[in-house]
């Protein structure tokens, strides 16, 4: 499917087509060409911020009687990698990806980490090109209609579990820091630490930053289960 056909199918009155090509371009495609083009990572950063704001706003209004913790859990389920990859498939994003030869052969067109990242970069491109109205339109077609979807219950969200544990004892926030990136551009591995202030709670590795964050949170929960967390933070 051509990129223009994809945008027309979803009712996006695009102005800057190059922005959308960037949103759908994998690093492997860039590395195999001499032309000056960017991959989707910058737009993924933008899309992630747009998602956090609009999904939070939507859930706040949809569930007026739920607590902060419940809303956080809802949001985490809707914006995690597995969920975003599902939404990307619903939109048909895999059909319009620009991939390198190696990534194409290795199944990158249906790889969850790639689809989740490009879903975010697509949202970022829509927001920057034609504004919040059309960014929300894409969210309504995907995320919003799944806000009460129980199919997500079987996926363990370690980040949310860790945050709830930490806040129950300290009212502090867990942050995630990138420690290292290794491997080729078409198959990177990220190492991320779950941090509370200057304390490293756990470390995880994954083929995407989101997956590595989940692994770090899982590692932190396992370590905290072996210690007296409250006593440690009262010192």
What's residue 156's pLDDT?
65
* Confidence check: pLDDT of 168 > 60: yes
pLDDT in tens, 169-182: 777 889 999 999 99
pLDDT digits (tens, 9 = 90+) for 48-62: 999 999 999 999 999
pLDDT surpasses 50 at 1: yes
Most confident of the ranges 38-52, 171-185, 187-201: 38-52
Q: Are strands 175-182 and 189-196 parallel, antiparallel or unpaired?
A: antiparallel
Average pLDDT over residues 181-186: 80
Digit-coded pLDDT (tens) for 3-26: 999 999 999 999 999 999 999 999
Residue 149 is among the residues annotated as catalytic for this protein: no
First to last CA, the chain: 60
Band of pLDDT at residue 88, cut at 50, 70 and 90: very high
Higher pLDDT, residue 108 or 97: 97
Instruction: Reply yes or no on whether 120 is catalytic.
Output: yes
Q: Is the pLDDT of residue 151 over 70?
A: no
Mean pLDDT for the stretch of residues 196-225:
89
User: Is residue 152's pLDDT more than 80?
Assistant: no
**Stretch 176-197: mean pLDDT:** 88
Q: What is the pLDDT of residue 149?
A: 66
Give all domains of the chain, ordered by start, each with its CATH number.
3-154 (1.10.1520.10), 158-234 (3.30.160.20)
Residue 235's pLDDT is 43
Mean pLDDT taken over the chain: 87
Structure tokens at 20: 């959308």
Given 22, 39, 44, 48, which residue is catalytic? 48
Is the pLDDT score of 155 beyond 60?
no
* Nearest by Cα to 19 from 164, 152, 127: 127
- Name the range with the highest mean pLDDT among 28-42, 64-78, 89-103: 89-103
| Choice among 120, 129, 157, 213 that is catalytic | 120
């Amino acid at each position: 499917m051509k990129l223009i056909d994809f945008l027309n199918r979803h009712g996006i009155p695009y102005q800057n087509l190059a922005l959308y090509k960037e949103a759908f371009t994998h690093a492997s495609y860039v590395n195999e060409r001499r032309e000056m083009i960017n991959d989707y990572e910058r737009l993924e950063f933008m899309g992630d911020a747009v998602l956090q704001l609009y999904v939070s706003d939507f859930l706040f209004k949809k569930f007026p009687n739920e607590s902060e913790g419940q809303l956080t859990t809802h949001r985490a389920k809707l914006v995690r990698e597995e969920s975003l990859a599902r939404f990307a498939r619903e939109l048909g994003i895999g059909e319009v990806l620009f991939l390198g030869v190696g990534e194409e052969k290795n199944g990158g067109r249906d790889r969850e980490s790639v689809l989740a990242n490009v879903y975010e970069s697509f949202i970022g491109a829509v927001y920057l090109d034609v504004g919040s109205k059309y960014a929300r339109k894409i969210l309504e077609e995907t995320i919003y209609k799944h806000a009460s979807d129980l199919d997500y219950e079987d996926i363990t969200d370690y980040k949310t579990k860790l945050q709830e544990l930490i806040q129950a004892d300290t009212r502090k926030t867990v942050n995630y820091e990138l420690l290292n990136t290794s491997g080729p551009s078409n198959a990177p591995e990220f190492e991320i630490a779950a941090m509370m202030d200057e304390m490293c709670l756990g470390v995880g590795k994954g083929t995407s930053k989101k997956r590595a964050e989940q692994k770090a949170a899982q590692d932190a929960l396992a370590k905290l289960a072996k210690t007296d967390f409250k006593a440690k933070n009262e010192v």
